[in-house]
A and B are shown apart, each in its own frame.
Chain A
Amino acid sequence: MNFMASKQPENSLLGPEADSQRTLYPYVTGTSVVALKYKDGILMAADMGGSYGSTLRYKSVERIKPIGKHSLLGASGEISDFQEILRYLDELILYDNMWDDGNSLGPKEVHNYLTRVMYNRRNKFNPLWNSLVLGGVKNGQKYLGTVSMIGVNFEDNHVATGFGNHLARPILRQEWHENLSYEDGVRLLEKCMRVLLYRDRSAINKLQIAKITEEGTTISQPYSLKTYWEFSAFANPAQGAVGTW
């Protein structure tokens, strides 16, 4: 105990914990998650990249996971904190199952639990560095909500994290409508993911789309989007004046 006390900085109010225990900045991060409500449930899309600063370190990170019977969780931000959250939720679902009372935690309950966890961690200045998207269907009721690392939470018909807020939400605000069919929903999500692929430097062309309905969850196999680079103006930008840039 003695050597621990001598290592403390004088102005620390944390006691023996010291600053090395707190999250100061993220290391391995995932980029945006985009999700929307459609006729039968929720559609969620995220790419599979895990960046280590400016390096693309991991290319098969599954950032969407099913939670219990009724929910899907998508996360952007620090991957290790996402894995920690999955462990917390695992414990939560396990305890719920142990009751064996025929009732199971729905998306609204899981969302509330996550909000409390995120907010309380931020109050202790030790946040879980994630922006989460929680979607699900229970008893015919569709639910789609989001929680940020500081505990801001709300539910909406379409949500996005990170860069998705700036690039995908304008498209969703214009083109989303009630009772989208599955094909239309996927087309709309792919449109958003394509724009993100063009304009977000941490996005990669390998994504998964997850679907949750009353019947259950499906997370697609990873696939890539078709991109177009053949605009003639990109081919020869110095056409008008040779030597310009």
Chain B
Amino acid sequence: MSKSVIEVPPKGGFSFDLCKRNEMLANKGVNPPSFRKTGTTIVGLIFQDGVILGADTRATEGPIVCDKNCEKIHYMAPNIYCCGAGTAADTEAVTDMVSSQLQLHRYHTGRESRVVTALTLLKRHLFNYQGYVSAALVLGGVDVTGPHLHTIYPHGSTDTLPFATMGSGSLAAMAVFESKYKEGLTRNEGIELVTEAICSGIFNDLGSGSNVDVCVITKGGKEYLRNHLQPNPRTYTSSKGYSFPKKTEVLLTKIIPLKEKVEIIEGGDAMEE
């Protein structure tokens, strides 16, 4: 009886079979194409009564801005929101997935979701994929244990911080935070500081731009301020507005009937071989 080894593909997840071959190719100078980073500035900070998250709204495809006003602050739970930097598909998919898992968990337990739950679900998933899911997240929320703010890196490590920044504009935003953050900020002071940090990213980093989104989460509820600040309006707009004709303009109409050149042979055996 011959021993037949049936190759069953692994159920779900990535297959790391080609890693050795890729490494060999890289040593010979053949490098794989790199992933497109979206370029972002995302921040979070803890204030007196809760958490404030902020993000810019530019999505880039290499050197081109593909979306001037995208949403980078994702919903996780009524009391938890998550900003995402890195590959847009990865941040969307991973936050959507954990958001659904959290809802199922809420039905199961009958309780409000906790931020550490979202944190653990996200970091387990990201670690499992060894950094290939390129999502760098700033997770913030308020639950029964208080306000929480965490950063999650693509490889799965996390930090718990009073203020955090991620993305290509993180240094510019962090410069603002490090010089101006203090404890016990009020709501308005917090929103102003977050806006200032995002603006610093928008104007000093090429990967970030357009508008500022802010999300304030407190014990009472959340306030999603979409386009809280729009510091990049269109420079020149026509006051008369732009109206274009609804269809292609007709310049000239000329009809030339074609003469029939085909002779019709009546009752012929045209198809016989």
Interface, chain A (partner B; CB < 8 A): 163, 166-171, 173-174, 191-192, 194-195, 198-199, 231-234, 237-241, 244-245
Q: How far is the CA of A191 from the CA of B46 in the complex (A)?
A: 22
Q: Which of B146, B172, B183 has a CB less than 8 Å from the CB of A166?
A: B172
New contact pairs (10) apart from A241-B116, A244-B120, CB-CB < 8 Å: A163-B171, A169-B204, A171-B175, A173-B203, A199-B171, A199-B174, A231-B162, A231-B183, A234-B161, A245-B160
Given contacts A171-B179, A174-B200, contact A166 B171 (CB under 8 A): yes
A184 to chain B: closest CB distance in Å?
14
Residues A244 and B174 in contact, CB atoms below 8 Å apart = no
Which residues between 213 and 268 of chain B lie within 8 Å of chain A, taking CB atoms?
Answer: none
Tell me which residues across on chain A come within 8 A of B204, comparing CB atoms.
169-170, 173
A209 to chain B: closest CB distance in Å?
17
Residues B162 and A194 in contact, CB atoms below 8 Å apart = no
Given contacts A233-B46, A233-B160, contact A167 B174 (CB under 8 A): yes
Q: Is the C-beta of B72 less than 8 angstroms from some C-beta in chain A?
A: no
Tell me which residues across on chain B come within 8 A of A238, comparing CB atoms.
160
Residues B200 and A170 in contact, CB atoms below 8 Å apart = yes
Which residues between 94 and 144 of chain B lie within 8 Å of chain A, taking CB atoms?
Answer: 114-116, 119-120, 143
What's the tally of chain B residues with a CB closer than 8 Å to chain A?
28
Shortest Cβ distance from A171 into B: residue: B175
Q: How far is the CA of A194 from the CA of B174 in the complex (A)?
A: 12
Q: How far is the CA of A239 from the CA of B161 in the complex (A)?
A: 12
B228 to chain A: closest CB distance in Å?
19
Shortest Cβ distance from B170 into A: residue: A166
Q: Which of A171, A173, A198, A237 has a CB less than 8 Å from the CB of B161?
A: A237
Tell me which residues across on chain A come within 8 A of B116, comparing CB atoms.
240-241, 244
Shortest Cβ distance from A191 into B: residue: B179
Residues B115 and A240 in contact, CB atoms below 8 Å apart = yes
Residues B146 and A234 in contact, CB atoms below 8 Å apart = no
Q: How far is the CA of A169 from the CA of B120 in the complex (A)?
A: 37
Q: Is the C-beta of B148 less than 8 angstroms from some C-beta in chain A?
A: yes
Q: Is the C-beta of B158 less than 8 angstroms from some C-beta in chain A?
A: yes
Tell me which residues across on chain A come within 8 A of B172, comparing CB atoms.
166-167, 170
Tell me which residues across on chain B come within 8 A of A169, comparing CB atoms.
204
Tell me which residues across on chain A come within 8 A of B119, comparing CB atoms.
244
A222 to chain B: closest CB distance in Å?
22
Given contacts A169-B204, A240-B145, contact A232 B179 (CB under 8 A): no
A96 to chain B: closest CB distance in Å?
39
Shortest Cβ distance from A173 into B: residue: B204
Residues B183 and A194 in contact, CB atoms below 8 Å apart = no
Closest 10 CB pairs of A and B: A233-B162, A237-B160, A166-B171, A240-B145, A170-B172, A241-B116, A170-B204, A195-B178, A170-B200, A167-B175
Q: Is the C-beta of B65 less than 8 angstroms from some C-beta in chain A?
A: no
Shortest Cβ distance from B171 into A: residue: A166
Residues B161 and A195 in contact, CB atoms below 8 Å apart = no
Q: Which of B145, B149, B178, B203 has a CB less than 8 Å from the CB of A198?
A: B178
B141 to chain A: closest CB distance in Å?
10
Which residues between 151 and 169 of chain B lie within 8 Å of chain A, taking CB atoms?
Answer: 158-162
A164 to chain B: closest CB distance in Å?
10
Residues B171 and A233 in contact, CB atoms below 8 Å apart = no
Q: How far is the CA of A166 from the CA of B170 in the complex (A)?
A: 9
Q: How far is the CA of A238 from the CA of B146 in the complex (A)?
A: 12
Shortest Cβ distance from B203 into A: residue: A173
Q: How far is the CA of A194 from the CA of B175 in the complex (A)?
A: 10
Shortest Cβ distance from B143 into A: residue: A240
B209 to chain A: closest CB distance in Å?
14
- Of A166, A168, A170, which is in contact with the most chain B CB atoms at under 10 Å from its CB? A170
- Enumerate 15 A-B pairs (CB-CB under 8 Å) in ascending A order: A166-B172, A166-B175, A169-B204, A170-B203, A171-B175, A174-B196, A194-B179, A195-B179, A232-B162, A233-B149, A240-B114, A240-B116, A241-B116, A244-B120, A244-B160
Tell me which residues across on chain A come within 8 A of B146, comparing CB atoms.
239-240
Shortest Cβ distance from A197 into B: residue: B178
Residues A245 and B200 in contact, CB atoms below 8 Å apart = no
B186 to chain A: closest CB distance in Å?
17
B4 to chain A: closest CB distance in Å?
47
Q: Is the C-beta of B176 less than 8 angstroms from some C-beta in chain A?
A: yes
Q: How far is the CA of A124 from the CA of B213 in the complex (A)?
A: 49
Given contacts A170-B200, A244-B119, contact A194 B114 (CB under 8 A): no
B77 to chain A: closest CB distance in Å?
15
Shortest Cβ distance from A164 into B: residue: B175
Shortest Cβ distance from A166 into B: residue: B171
Q: How far is the CA of A163 from the CA of B170 in the complex (A)?
A: 13
